[in-house]
Amino acid sequence: MKAIPILALSGLTAWLIAATAGAGDAPDDPYLWLEKQDSPEAMQWVHTENDKTLAVLEKDPHFEVFDREALTIAEANDRIPTPEYLHHRVFNFWQDADHVRGIWRYSDPKSYATSTHHWSTAIDLDALAKSENANWVWQEANCELAAERRCLIDLSDGGEDAATDREFDLDKGQFVDDGFRLPHGKQRAAWEDQDTLLVAREWNPGELTSSGYPYIVKRLRRGQSLDQAQEVFRGSADDGGYGVTPLVLIDAEGRRAVLIVRPLSTFESAVYIVADAGVAQLRLPRKVQIHALAKGQLIVSLAEDWKPGARTFEQGSLVAVDLAAAKRHPDALQPAIIYKPGPGRRFWTQP
């Protein structure tokens, strides 16, 4: 495993520096060309600044020791493997000196509970990259949560945001030849059911927000080509944040919440529910985080006060919204309190 140099300042950071120094309004900004993040000029600037930064760091007498210690920690075999329970097995993505790109592996739950885990490899990313002459970097395994048999494996070319998604069969331990495949792009997908995806991506050239992320969601059924997908939701090219995200939550009884999260700013979003009658916006506050679906209740936390009726739910609260009622009356939600924060407290979870 090789240490990766620190990236240079982004175009946005350079703009802020220039603005602070009195460079003037955006039209006179000498760094505006850095907004074209993939242009040869911008990339040459990044490489040049990276070289400058690395040269300074490597001269520091602590650099070699810190670099070696960091790599030793990153490759240590006694690290606790982060588990994900799927299809009656415990999965884990692992990188070390022998698996630089990494392996996606699984263990029997009983074996995982011991001090000497026995692992089987589902995907060897080093071997896959070599066989396909590709620079694959692991992003995630996006699995259908009802049957837990099929997953979309998100692979990035060199670590960029954009990815290629390929369907993987957990039972057979191999990619599905005629399965779902989403070509390279900045995209997000959610399993609406075992044979249907909701996909946000650049469907036609230029259909991205000003920050370069998708704002259109389409329904793609098994066997369809991308141009056969049907539009479900359309945001705006002016939307902030990182583009729309389709989201499917399933509770233990099999109820399913199909949602679309549309960012309005860095900290604000609108949440839409997909039902038989169509797509409707849920009258949730803008500063809200969705966590789970449990016993038919949509569980959310509040980053601002919410007053859906006579009662006020305080910022930092954890509340439940009935899914069936939300589908019938998305603009008249009646939340119930799960956790009310005391003085100086709030509900918090790692996003």
Looking at the fold, whether 94 and 114 belong to one and the same domain comes out as: yes
C-beta of residue 275 within 8 angstroms of C-beta of residue 295:
no
Kind of pairing, strands 196-200 and 216-221?
antiparallel
Looking at the fold, whether 63 and 105 belong to one and the same domain comes out as: no
User: What is the DSSP secondary-structure string of 127-176?
Assistant: HHHHHTT--EEEEEEEE-TTT--EEEEEEEETT-S-EEEEEEETTTTEE-
Looking at the fold, whether 102 and 173 belong to one and the same domain comes out as: yes
- Alpha carbon of residue 8 to chain centroid: 23
**Buried residues in 245-281 as b, exposed as e (16+ CB within 10 A):** bbbbbbbeeebbbbbbbbbeeeebbbbbbbeeeebee
The residue written with tokens 């930064």 in the block is 53
- Enclosing H/E stretch for 12: helix 11-20
Residue 254 lies in a domain: no
The residue written with tokens 């996606």 in the block is 104
Residue 246 lies in a domain: no
Q: Which of 31, 51, 72 finishes a domain?
A: 72
Looking at the fold, whether 55 and 119 belong to one and the same domain comes out as: no
What stretches in the chain show pLDDT beneath 50?
A: 1-26, 350-351
- Please state the domain count of the chain: 2
Residue 86 lies in a domain: yes
Looking at the fold, whether 149 and 176 belong to one and the same domain comes out as: yes
Q: What is the pTM of this model?
A: 0.84
The total number of residues written for the chain in this structure: 351
Domain that holds residue 171: 78-185
Looking at the fold, whether 87 and 58 belong to one and the same domain comes out as: no
Residue 141 lies in a domain: yes
Q: Which of 185, 210, 234 finishes a domain?
A: 185
Q: Which of 31, 57, 72 finishes a domain?
A: 72
CA nearest 189: which of 150, 154, 138?
A: 154
Residue 237 lies in a domain: no
Looking at the fold, whether 97 and 164 belong to one and the same domain comes out as: yes
Looking at the fold, whether 62 and 151 belong to one and the same domain comes out as: no
